[in-house]
Amino acid sequence: MELNGVAELPEIRPGDDIAALVADRAALEPGDVLTVASTIVSKAEGRTADLEEYPVSGRAQEIADRIEEIAGEEKDPRFAQAIIEESSELLIDCPFLLAETRFGHICPNAGIDRSNVPGHDLLLLPKRPTESAERIRTGLEERGIEDVAVVVTDTCGRPFRHGQTGVAIGWAGMPASRDWRGELDRDGHELGVTVQSVVDELAAAANLVTGEGAGGTPAVVVRDWEFGDHEGSEELFRSVEDDLIRQALREWRFDE
């Protein structure tokens, strides 16, 4: 398996065609996986916003006040409002906001980025990243580049472990997971591992190449990797029913 960053992508602007920009710079081959950082997908889709676009609701003001009171941290209530509007549920609302986006991804601040947006206050995640991935894949096909899977990535932290890793938030041209159930190990035993989230592993691998900052390459080509002859699954985000941690969080409130 080989990973290479797509060199010399320009700063992405609203309306830019990511498929075209990548196709001009990388000799994609059938079977490749192209990972694309959500930051540039969002920029191409014009998903920037300004804090003044978010008139503060009672709930947003309450959240900001409580974070300031308990955590001693200033939280702009308009930022809290933006997170609420991008979310279907807040799993934690103090001392930070852990949100489920409308497409099911759970991450701090609904993935809204305050660092990466020249000329604006906020960069929102793509609205429907799997549709974004499909559009990029279709754009490649229109340029004669067939059979390239596309994974839209984010980086976020997680429970239990320090630090952030690359994760997938949208994908096209391949299933999210490999299902190993029923397959056997060397000794003929059924496997302990059941479902392998390959899109997340591809996103994590790509993030090692992407880097951040001035030298970053937000698109990465993965070559000589195969999904292989396994059952696939399209599920990536757990529902509340499937997730004891989410159930526990519903009954819990932070208290300093």
Between residues 31 and 216, which has the closer beta carbon with respect to a second copy? 216
Do residues 194 and 180 lie in contact, with contact meaning Cβ atoms separated by under 8 Å? yes
Smallest Cα–Cα separation from 79: which of 105, 51, 39? 51
Strands 177-179 and 195-196: antiparallel
Closest distance to a second copy from the beta carbon of 142 (Å): 28
71 marked as binding residue: no
46 marked as binding residue: no
Between residues 139 and 210, which has the closer beta carbon with respect to a second copy? 210
**What SS3 class is residue 208?**
helix
Closest distance to a second copy from the beta carbon of 196 (Å): 6
Between residues 135 and 200, which has the closer beta carbon with respect to a second copy? 200
11 marked as binding residue: yes
Smallest Cα–Cα separation from 37: which of 145, 126, 162? 126
116 marked as binding residue: yes
Closest distance to a second copy from the beta carbon of 72 (Å): 16
Between residues 69 and 158, which has the closer beta carbon with respect to a second copy? 158
10 marked as binding residue: yes
Do residues 158 and 211 lie in contact, with contact meaning Cβ atoms separated by under 8 Å? no
Closest distance to a second copy from the beta carbon of 144 (Å): 27
CB-count exposure of residue 153 (10 Å: 0-12, 13-18, 19+): buried
194 marked as binding residue: no
d(CA 61, CA 243) in angstroms, rounded, equals: 29
Tell me the HSE value of 25 on the side-chain side, using a 13 A CA sphere: 19
How many residues appear in the chain?
256
Between residues 59 and 246, which has the closer beta carbon with respect to a second copy? 246
Which position has the token pair 């702009």? 76
Closest distance to a second copy from the beta carbon of 143 (Å): 26
Annotated binding-site ranges for a divalent metal cation: 113, 154-155, 212
Residues annotated in a binding site for GTP? 9-12, 38-39, 43, 116, 210-217
Q: Which residues are annotated as a binding site?
A: 9-12, 38-39, 43, 113, 116, 154-155, 210-217
